[in-house]
Amino acid sequence: MRLLSSVGFSLAIFLAAPAFAQDRAAGSDDDVHTGDPIIVTAPYVRSLDILGNVSVLEGDELARDIRGQIGDTLTRQAGVSATSFAPGASRPVLRGFSGERVRVLTDGIGSIDVSNTSADHAVTIDPLTVERIEILRGPAVLLFGSQAIGGAVNLFDRRIPRKVPADHVHIDAIGGYATAANDRNIGSSIDVALTPQIVAHLDGSWRKTGDARSGGFVYAPGIRDDLLHLAEHEVEEGHLDEAAELTADANRRGKIPNTASETWTAAGGLSLINDGGQLGISVSYYDSKYGVPSRPGTEHHEEGEEEEGHDHGEAPVTIGLKQWRADLRGEVEMGDGFFDKLRIRAGFADYEHTEFEGDEVGTVFTNQGVEGRLELAQNDRGGWRGASGIQYSHRDFNAIGAEAFVPRNLTDQFALFTLQEWTLGSLGVEAAARYETTDVRAPALGIARSFGTLSGALGANYDISNSAKIGLSVARAVRAPSAEELFSNGPHIATQSFEVGDVNLKREASWGAEASFKVKTEAFSLSLTGYSNWFDNFIYSEATGGEEDELPVFQYFQRDARVWGFEAEASARLAQIGGFNIVGDVVADMTRAKIKGGDHVPRIPAMRVLGGLEAQGERIDARAEVEWTDDQTRIAPFETATKGFTLVNASISWRPLPDTKNLTLSLAANNIFDIEARRHASFTKDYVPLIGRDIRITARASF
């Protein structure tokens, strides 16, 4: 029986939270050693290569790079860094943007957690359950919300099956071990065809790590100098034991204190799939506990502080979080008329996390949210196609406890959007527009703010030849300030800061321009992209130099700013030796960001170049690479500079089964020379370095 169009449409109206879905890339699901990726995020746009710049991570490459958090998984990609607050909490940084300017999506809608509110909050998506990741940059990401002004990361899993398994049952599994943090992990999923049209899905994952091990000193020079100075003071006071403890702390190497973690997930889904379309649901659970490292010295108090209640940092801080989530995706084929498909996508989540100070409950954060999209995709009409839709989201956020730095707040967003594409011979043109309303309320403060924003983009590319094209786009993007930027006012123990918002913040707006040049042949590919954004009322958080409750004050400010930079990727087939193709590749990126008047924007990643040499064979791939990161001395007031570093990595993958590529065994060595490295984008870089030498063994299977 065909899936009735009226069923999908009525269900979308009933939800009152419209949604959208994506198509799965064409090709065999059983082949985990894939070839050139097919961009599927917006199937009505040809690879988003006019208004967007897209990178894809999947298959063996994803298995090699996979880490506990999505931010650390993506750092080899062009234009991507990570917040790296702790091994248990790391969010992507795209072109220097993070937090409220980067959306982390699961199958097209938000993760519905609180990872955007603070760098110590984890993303509730386990990369072990993900089969494909798309990194989206440029003006086309406005389709996903004004919060995607810096870019979006879209993760795909199989929790709502998209196709009926060819052999009635399909199994995916991945597992591994890594030495630097005693990292043990496993994830698996199964799809079963219950009938020719109904598919059931189950998946689960588990990861447990100990404290991570650094490649040099745990603490940066500034902190080490402070500790040694305190040790000298203790010697003068005759406190030799305390002096010895401080000296040992200053010279600490190896394990990074309080960085252990444990995460597990479980999910089930069901889909009805036939010629008329598809409709599916899933329910999932995410549970994680991880340590939040403390800046050393915060446990040393002046006499009488405890009686006054200033006890920040006395006990190790850990975060325990959990999320229940329900998702729906549907697609209705609409025939050969003006519209091709109706797509719906919706999700609801109930999230809670607790910040523990030792064994005592500190602050509890809760978040209930719903997000959805409905879109109508058009059939191709002589080179013209596109899609239009509506999007809605609701968030009810609360923080309970002595250090609830944000009051309870509610946010509602509603948006209309469209993207249209025209192909005129060698010329391609795209135009996108989005109108969005945002209502943010803090009932306890009696404050409500409403914002209307209109964003748009126009772009064109031209095929110089069959293998080369140039592109240019311009965009106007406008974003409403978030509840955290507006209402924060209090101590936050996990970040060891006193956070202050500004209820009078205005809309943040920018003009952006992006130019690209791309070449792709059988033996060579090159992609060069330059971008620039001119911001009015840019919102940012910066240390003021003041203190409240014995914590440094970080306040939200708003000034004009400019952000500019480039991304470059190249790959070339250099030779063929025996049965191996020898391929060289390079990735480079740089971002600069300055506030009008001269100050630099805080936590902007330094310039980075990564080059690799790979031997690609039928059964074996081997790779060696070097990643160089420059010093970052372009810093904001009260921010410390970050020394550059060079990492050397190597890996080998083996597909042992003859006549199939369904099983891959990998061995990787990262940071081979065990050097000390820190990411400038991290709030905790001075006391949470990157991990040292790490030997990783991974097995990945798909049958």
Asked if the structure places residue 619 within a domain, the reply is yes
pLDDT at 45 over 80: no
Asked if the structure places residue 678 within a domain, the reply is yes
pLDDT at 313 over 70: no
Confidence of residue 69 (pLDDT cuts 50, 70, 90): very high
The kind and range of the H/E element at 5 are helix 5-15
Confidence of residue 19 (pLDDT cuts 50, 70, 90): very low
Q: How far apart are CA 563 and CA 149, in angstroms?
A: 12
pLDDT at 223: 93
The kind and range of the H/E element at 305 are helix 305-308
Q: How far apart are CA 254 and CA 275, in angstroms?
A: 58
Confidence of residue 309 (pLDDT cuts 50, 70, 90): very low
Q: How far apart are CA 406 and CA 419, in angstroms?
A: 36
pLDDT at 49: 56
Q: How far apart are CA 414 and CA 408, in angstroms?
A: 21
Residue of 102, 479, 494 whose CA lies nearest to 313:
494
Residue with tokens 């072990």: 128
pLDDT at 138: 76
Per the CB < 8 A criterion, the answer to whether 593 and 605 are in contact is no
pLDDT at 310 over 50: no
Residue with tokens 């983009």: 457
pLDDT at 181: 96
Asked if the structure places residue 234 within a domain, the reply is no
Per the CB < 8 A criterion, the answer to whether 33 and 661 are in contact is yes
Q: How far apart are CA 402 and CA 405, in angstroms?
A: 9
Asked if the structure places residue 224 within a domain, the reply is no
Count of domains forming the chain: 1
pLDDT at 8: 36
Give me the phi and psi of 163, to 5 degrees please: -150, 160
pLDDT at 297: 66
For 38, 159, 329, 426, the CA distances from 162, given in Å and listed in that order, are: 16, 9, 9, 34
Asked if the structure places residue 474 within a domain, the reply is yes
Asked if the structure places residue 642 within a domain, the reply is yes
Is the sign of the CA dihedral 155, 160, 162, 165 positive or negative? positive
Which of 65-69, 333-337, 437-441 shows the highest mean pLDDT?
437-441
Helix boundaries (H) for 16-167: 59-65, 70-73
For 176, 335, 594, the CA distances from 643, given in Å and listed in that order, are: 32, 59, 20
Confidence of residue 615 (pLDDT cuts 50, 70, 90): very high
Identity of residue 24: R
Asked if the structure places residue 247 within a domain, the reply is no
pLDDT at 528 over 50: yes
Residue with tokens 């917006």: 42
- Between 439 and 660, the more confident residue is 439
pLDDT at 314: 63
* Residue 600 neighbours by CB under 8 Å, 6+ apart: 593, 594, 634, 635, 636
Give me the phi and psi of 127, to 5 degrees please: -55, -20
Identity of residue 584: G
* Residue 309 neighbours by CB under 8 Å, 6+ apart: none
Is the sign of the CA dihedral 295, 353, 485, 596 positive or negative? positive
Domain limits at 48?
5-218+256-702
pLDDT at 2: 38
For 26, 105, 384, 468, the CA distances from 39, given in Å and listed in that order, are: 10, 15, 19, 18
Tens of pLDDT, residue by residue over 557-572, are 999 999 999 999 999 9
Judged by DSSP in three states, 17 sits in coil
Asked if the structure places residue 235 within a domain, the reply is no
Judged by DSSP in three states, 422 sits in strand
Residue 163 burial (CB count, 10 A): 15
pLDDT at 40 over 60: no
pLDDT at 575 over 50: yes
What Rg, from alpha-carbon coordinates, does the chain have? 25
Residue of 527, 513, 557, 512 whose CA lies nearest to 539:
557
pLDDT at 491: 87
Which domain CATH number covers 90? 2.40.170.20
pLDDT at 17 over 90: no
Confidence of residue 373 (pLDDT cuts 50, 70, 90): very high
Q: How far apart are CA 516 and CA 523, in angstroms?
A: 20
Positions of E strands within 549-672: 551-577, 580-595, 608-616, 620-629, 645-654, 663-670
User: What are the tokens at 107?
Assistant: 């199958």
* Residue 101 neighbours by CB under 8 Å, 6+ apart: 147, 148, 149, 150, 151, 479
Tens of pLDDT, residue by residue over 110-136, are 999 989 888 888 999 999 999 999 998
User: Which class for 555: exposed (0-12), middle (13-18), buried (19 or more C-beta within 10 A)?
Assistant: middle
Q: What's the whole-number average pLDDT of the chain?
A: 88
pLDDT at 311 over 90: no
Residues 400/405/408/413 CA torsion (nearest 10 deg)? -140
Q: How far apart are CA 89 and CA 68, in angstroms?
A: 9
